[in-house]
Chain A
Amino acid sequence: MTDLLAKFDSIRAEYDFLKGTGLSDPFGVVMERVLSPTRAIIRGRETILVGTYNYMGMTFDPDVIAAGKAAMDTFGAGSTGSRVLNGTFATHVAVEQALKDFYGTSSAIVFSTGYQANLGMVSTLAGKDDVILLDADSHASIYDGCKLGHAEVVRFRHNDAADLEKRLRRVPAGKGKLVILEGVYSMLGDVAPLRDLVAVSKAAGAMVLVDEAHAMGFFGPHGRGVYEEQGLEDQVDFVVGTFSKSVGTVGGFAVSNHPHFEILRLVCNPYRFTASLPPVVAASAEASIRKLMTATDKRARLWAASRRLHASLKGAGFRMATETPESAIIAVLMPTQEECVIMWSALLDQGIYCNLSRPPATPMGVYLLRCSLSSEHSLDDVDEITRRFVAARAATQALAA
């Protein structure tokens, strides 16, 4: 018998080595209690959360919780069914209406996760005679959507409109083209030059899908995303998003003004062949999305915290992944895997949780300590985070020396 798990031996050896060093396991963090959008108890210690994508701090919003509890009481714990069978409750229709109101679109389709939204949209929109052109740094859910579908897949250099244009030109005439972009790229926190990328896409007759997972709520006048901020609402054909970040719960969605968008409900397997979100989640998401429409104070606080963290870490001598704070993801570049892991562990000892990111999730083989801010981080929190980063660096250098 061939052991099918043997192919992972080298990864297992690496992981075992890491655990044997006595450092904390970056893939084994347990939140023992969650106190707020910015605080949890980890290993018995109160920890500042700086790596949760809880951008708008909606997880503990009283209206969101109340809406969820009411739906739980009214509709029960789960839907036990697909959206196209018994799994569409009034809560699902209501959250789709909230999305249409938020985005100003004629259609919205809710999936069970953002990962599934990308799987479904990418694999279903582009068929076997079509070509997908995707940014090289695309999220795993987009790559997996490509694998699930039958289209030809062409990758262009990250955020490079000239490279995209060249590849669009090489697509044989008559083929359908889908260009896939993201507003904010989640590893480095860099914002895409969507205006240029969308312009070359439209000039070549391609349809455009933008994943705005890391921009919802705080880019653009209505918080719709980078595409809104860059004035592209009448050019982008499909927007994909998630409830797992700014909305503060779980779920995914796609919105569009395409007159025939709704047909996807009947042909998209990652939509049809899975149970719908529990009503408690749909109702919480609806309440959250409606509040995000007017959350200008939260937006301002999130941007203030993000800018301050970037400036203070940079001032303390850390190498930042982006020269300026472009989004609410503030990532620190680490020179080696070893230092990255030691520093991550030292930060946790200091009561800071951020994300450790490494290849292949990161581009260009870089090692990152990735922070994401929340509107609920005070400026004092930000200063405390920086102080602890400095202390963790000292501990790391002592250990690495």
Chain B
Amino acid sequence: MAPSRDAVLARLLELIQPFNAKAVPLAEDTRFADDLEFDSLTVMDLVANMEDEWDINVPLNLLPDLETIGQVADAIVKLKAGA
């Protein structure tokens, strides 16, 4: 069964926390590049963890469109539904 968006978001926040070196408060509209200042290597590690958590492939082509935490949660829900 596909997880609910709330469940995905809650778990996503937990996955982001270890990379959140500057302890930026996390919300739906927090941006990875501008607010969290994640570089491409950090993004790659985080994405790999998300892929393992939900057993999905997050295609590289999607990444440029995923700017905020909320957008990532939406994408995961969609990928899970499609799998």
Contacts and interface: CB of A to CB of B under 8 A. Distances in A.
Nearest to B59: A152
A170 B55 CA distance: 7
A364 B56 contact: no
B60 A153 contact: yes
A154 B44 contact: no
Contact of B48 (A146, A152, A157, A172): A157
A360 B61 contact: no
A153 B57 CA distance: 9
Nearest to B44: A136
B41 A364 contact: yes
Contacts of B41: 359, 364-365
A156 to B, nearest CB: 9
A170 B60 contact: no
Contacts of B61: 152-153
Interface of B: 39-41, 44, 48, 51-52, 55-61, 82-83
A154 B40 contact: no
A366 to B, nearest CB: 11
A191 B47 CA distance: 26
B44 A170 contact: no
Nearest to B56: A170
Contacts of A157: 48
A155 B60 contact: yes
Contacts of B56: 170
Contacts of A166: 52
A368 to B, nearest CB: 16
A258 interface: no
29 contacts: A131-B57, A131-B59, A136-B44, A146-B60, A152-B57, A152-B59, A152-B61, A153-B59, A153-B60, A153-B61, A154-B57, A154-B58, A154-B59, A155-B44, A155-B60, A157-B48, A166-B52, A167-B51, A167-B57, A170-B51, A170-B55, A170-B56, A170-B57, A171-B57, A172-B82, A172-B83, A360-B40, A364-B41, A365-B39
A360 B55 CA distance: 28
Interface string A124-155: 00000001000010000000001000001111
A171 B39 CA distance: 27
Given A153-B59, A154-B57, A170 B40 contact: no
A126 B20 CA distance: 36
Interface residues of A, number: 17
Contacts of B83: 170, 172
Interface string A321-363: 0000000000000000000000000000000000000011000
A278 to B, nearest CB: 36
Nearest to B54: A170
Contacts of A172: 82-83
Nearest to A359: B41
Given A170-B55, A359-B41, 20 more contacts: A131-B57, A131-B59, A146-B60, A152-B59, A152-B61, A153-B59, A153-B60, A154-B58, A154-B59, A157-B48, A166-B52, A167-B51, A167-B57, A170-B51, A170-B56, A170-B57, A170-B83, A171-B57, A365-B39, A365-B41
Interface string A149-177: 00011110100000000110011100000
B24 to A, nearest CB: 21
B55 A154 contact: no
A327 B52 CA distance: 33
Nearest to A147: B61
Top 3 A-B residue pairs of the complex, sorted by shortest distance between their CB atoms: A153-B60, A152-B59, A154-B57
B75 to A, nearest CB: 13
A153 B82 CA distance: 16
A152 B56 CA distance: 13
Contacts of A360: 40
Contacts of A146: 60
Contacts of A136: 44
Contacts of B48: 157
